[in-house]
Structure 1
Amino acid sequence: MSTELSRCAVIGGPDDPLMARAYPAPFRPSCTPFQRDRERIVQARAFRRLAGKTQVFTSRASDHFRSRLTHTMEVAQIARAAASTLGLNEDLAETLALVHDIGHPPFGHAGERALDQCLREHGRRFDHNLHALRIVEHFEQRYAAHRGLNLTLGVREGIIKHSRDYSVLDYPELAEYMLDQRPPLEAQLIDLADEIAYLTADLDDGVESGLLAIGHIREHVDILARCYRMVEKQHAGVEEKYLFNEALQLMQNVLTDDLIATTRRNAEAIGADSLEDIRRCPTRLAVFSPRVEAERLQEKRYLYETLYTCEVLENEHDKAEEVVTALFNYWINDPEELPQGHFEDIEEEGLARVVADYIAGMTDSFILLQYAQIKRAIRR
């Protein structure tokens, strides 16, 4: 294991401010603070509900496709491996990977866009990172002394900052998360571990669905074609689908290894010798090399053009928009139909936010059930 960046890792001693929690928590010698956070996240209802939320294909299409939960597990594997190789805090990286999608609504990005559009009409926005923070700080109710999961500051900061930067002028309520500083490397790795996971998985699920053809991918996705040629030389005469599977694994390894090597080089280039050096850097250090970044962008464009916007999935997206919008408007117009437990938040959060929060927590199957019930009620 390389420990070249261990001095830049979030170590998590008892006096480390990143270990701070909003409420006191008893000391447990059997696990570190980030390990405790990991346990709390995995045991959360919102985490379990990821099993019923769309990644790319809805669960109605096939049990073989990734759900938001299985995708999360794949991201966690990549993030932990990268953190381990770099000598960073593996527990923090894994915990952030496990929580990174906990704020997503049903129907994947289509549901998120629809919910955001609904909120725009009320002067609000939907951001799955900010919603994830609301989940772990407010909505999860498992403890007698407080609401929320009482996670460490280090994990809460990573939830907010792993994939984008927020301005303290635009988000003054997030000031405690050091918005003027870069997040630790453990958090910076998560967004690209996410990219590696879905760039691999979406090609796999696309072929499994019949919407993508292996030959067509090889013609238009250079990194996959390069990996396919390498495995083809090693396994001459093997059936195409098995070569494709081998090529996908190799591609994931190539992307991961490049992320690790480039992050290490970037940290060495600025002479990073502590976490504070990482925080003060004007740019993020966890990135791909120029060649691999170009290949990543090429594959991402390919997936958008051939899979994400294909007619079959566009029909699913239209259905998602219809369902989310109809339910949002129904409860906005008749808030008394909301579950009683949501009433107390309306005065503080506003009706539009409460309705959006309720919808965002639903699984695909539950929101479709709600939609069917409401349609029947309207007919009557």
Structure 2
Amino acid sequence: MRPYGERWRAPYACDPWDSRGRLYPEAVSPTRSDFQRDRDRIIHSSAFRRLKHKTQVFVYHEGDHFRTRLTHTIEVSQIARALARSLGLDEDLAEALALSHDLGHTPFGHTGEDTLDECMAAYGGFDHNAQALRIVTRLERRYAAYDGLNLTWETLEGLVKHNGPLLDPEGRPTLRYEARGVPLAILEYNSQQDLELSSHASGEAQAAAIADDIAYDAHDIDDGLRAGLFEIDDLREVPFLDELLREIDGRWPGLDLSRRIHELTRRVITRFVEDVVAQSESRIEALKPAKAEDIRQAGETTVGFSKEMREADAGVKRFLYAHMYRHPKVMAVRARADDVLRDLFRRFTGEPDLMPDEWRTDLPEDETRLARRVSDYIAGMTDRYAILEHRRLFDVTPDLR
């Protein structure tokens, strides 16, 4: 029986009452849909709680007002729900995907992922989407009947494929994975439950993916300005942002900086969201999807930016790359964070008994699987815990400020 008060869904939305199910079958809840249950399981997971102390660009010493993985995730979730509601998609599935999209990220932002990928280069590399899948299917150990969270097929599919297909129609890795192949963790799970890696993901997953892009642009502008990495008028080199600043200054001349920043970031989000809704509605009208599978088989992304806004998004990201992600201050912190994680990886692979009890139980003899165990342990660390572990094991720990 469907719960009272369910929202309307378009025919092309994923229907939780017609889900492809879970790897381990469970009874239907009388009060929540399967996608609501997925969302709740993600929120109650240990990996989700750890996002509070994992950073995006800055490490935790930088201050309480900068985004963490958790605050970013909440912002992505809000945008994803707004897009899903406007397009008639299932809001709960879009929210579950937004809430889970960063579960596989390492400590120290993108630095940590790059470092761990290099450390794991001889053992299959490190990919945060594959790591998120490992977390929700294996590493979370909360339930008596199974490892992982036993999420629905639709949530797992969206988690793995929200950025597009991993294989082409002939079964070859798509461009993103062309050089190194699809991560083993994804292929291993796919052999148990086929996630159809050569098709696009659902509209809900596409909404969560574009919401991530929108949130990144807005909050990295905000954080970069508040950190003093660039000035607000430096943003005028991006035509899209210059137009928004002219609009703000024309309406509120002399506005104080804090309000000016907020007015800018809220307009960035609004313009992007309105564009995605309009562009996606146009694509849906042309496609005329009668079911969720039609979105998956469309051969291209259905939920996304117009050409104009794709260029605006690219312009914002080019600016942030040059002025924020590669800023000397950020690069200096990245170098020290890199040292911390490399030290930890070398120490734990050489002396795995130094890991906590639950991680050194039944240690694999195979070198590759041992490296993956160490990688799982390090990837799950918060920034603060990684620093504490380094201090426990080494005489000198870099100052990450």
Band the TM-score falls in, shorter-chain normalisation: over 0.9
Equivalence for 1:191: 209
Q: What 5-or-longer segments of structure 1 have no aligned partner?
A: none
Is residue 2:116 matched to residue 1:115? yes
Instruction: Say if 2:137 and 2:148, in contact at 8 Å, map to a contact too.
Output: yes
CA distance in 1, matches of 2:373, 2:329: 32
- The one-letter code matched in structure 2 to 1:46 is A
CA distance in 2, matches of 1:345, 1:187: 36
Q: Percent identity?
A: 39
Q: Evaluate the alpha carbon distance shift between residue 316 and residue 377 of structure 1 in structure 2; reply closer, same or farther with a 3 A threshold.
A: closer
Is residue 2:83 matched to residue 1:82? yes
Is residue 2:66 matched to residue 1:65? yes
Tell me, what secondary structure is at the counterpart of 2:147? coil
State the TM-score, normalizing by the size of structure 1. Answer: 0.93
CA distance in 2, matches of 1:233, 1:29: 54
Give the superposition deviation at 1:253.
Answer: 0.4
CA distance in 2, matches of 1:238, 1:179: 50
Equivalence for 1:260: 277
Tell me, what secondary structure is at the counterpart of 1:181? coil
- The one-letter code matched in structure 2 to 1:329 is R
Tell me, what secondary structure is at the counterpart of 2:94? helix
Q: What 5-or-longer segments of structure 2 have no aligned partner?
A: 1-6, 173-180
- Which segment is superposed worse, 71-80 or 147-156? 147-156
- The one-letter code matched in structure 2 to 1:131 is Q
- The one-letter code matched in structure 2 to 1:198 is Y
Q: How does 1:18-57 map to 2 (within 5 A)?
A: 20-57=21-58
Q: How does 1:246-325 map to 2 (within 5 A)?
A: 246-325=263-342
- The one-letter code matched in structure 2 to 1:260 is V
Equivalence for 2:131: 131
Is residue 2:241 matched to residue 1:224? yes
Instruction: Say if 2:248 and 2:260, in contact at 8 Å, map to a contact too.
Output: yes
Higher helix share: 1
Equivalence for 2:144: 144
- Which segment is superposed worse, 168-177 or 208-217? 168-177
Equivalence for 1:16: 19
CA distance in 1, matches of 2:270, 2:63: 27
Tell me, what secondary structure is at the counterpart of 1:8? coil
Instruction: Say if 1:5 and 1:264, in contact at 8 Å, map to a contact too.
Output: no
Cα RMSD for the two superposed structures? 1.9
CA distance in 1, matches of 2:93, 2:385: 32
Alpha-carbon displacement from aligned partner over 1:320-341 (angstroms, at most 9, x marks no partner): 1111111101111112222232
Equivalence for 1:360: 379
Q: Evaluate the alpha carbon distance shift between residue 27 and residue 276 of structure 1 in structure 2; reply closer, same or farther with a 3 A threshold.
A: closer
Instruction: Say if 2:19 and 2:152, in contact at 8 Å, map to a contact too.
Output: no
Give the superposition deviation at 1:5.
Answer: 7.7
Give the superposition deviation at 1:147.
Answer: 1.2
Aligned pairs, number: 371
Tell me, what secondary structure is at the counterpart of 1:376? coil
Give the superposition deviation at 1:106.
Answer: 0.2
1:6 pairs, out of 2, 7, 10, with 10
Equivalence for 1:350: 369
Instruction: Say if 1:50 and 1:102, in contact at 8 Å, map to a contact too.
Output: yes
CA distance in 1, matches of 2:145, 2:293: 34
Is residue 2:154 matched to residue 1:160? no
Q: Evaluate the alpha carbon distance shift between residue 238 and residue 43 of structure 1 in structure 2; reply closer, same or farther with a 3 A threshold.
A: same
- The one-letter code matched in structure 1 to 2:19 is D
Give the superposition deviation at 1:345.
Answer: 5.2
- Which segment is superposed worse, 67-76 or 255-264? 255-264
Tell me, what secondary structure is at the counterpart of 2:123? coil
CA distance in 1, matches of 2:49, 2:143: 18
Instruction: Say if 2:19 and 2:153, in contact at 8 Å, map to a contact too.
Output: no
State the TM-score, normalizing by the size of structure 2. Answer: 0.88
Alpha-carbon displacement from aligned partner over 1:335-377 (angstroms, at most 9, x marks no partner): 2222232232525761111110100000000000111111139
Equivalence for 1:373: 392
Instruction: Say if 1:139 and 1:147, in contact at 8 Å, map to a contact too.
Output: yes
Q: Evaluate the alpha carbon distance shift between residue 152 and residue 345 of structure 1 in structure 2; reply closer, same or farther with a 3 A threshold.
A: farther
Give the superposition deviation at 1:123.
Answer: 3.2
Tell me, what secondary structure is at the counterpart of 1:160? helix
CA distance in 2, matches of 1:370, 1:137: 26
Instruction: Say if 1:214 and 1:244, in contact at 8 Å, map to a contact too.
Output: yes
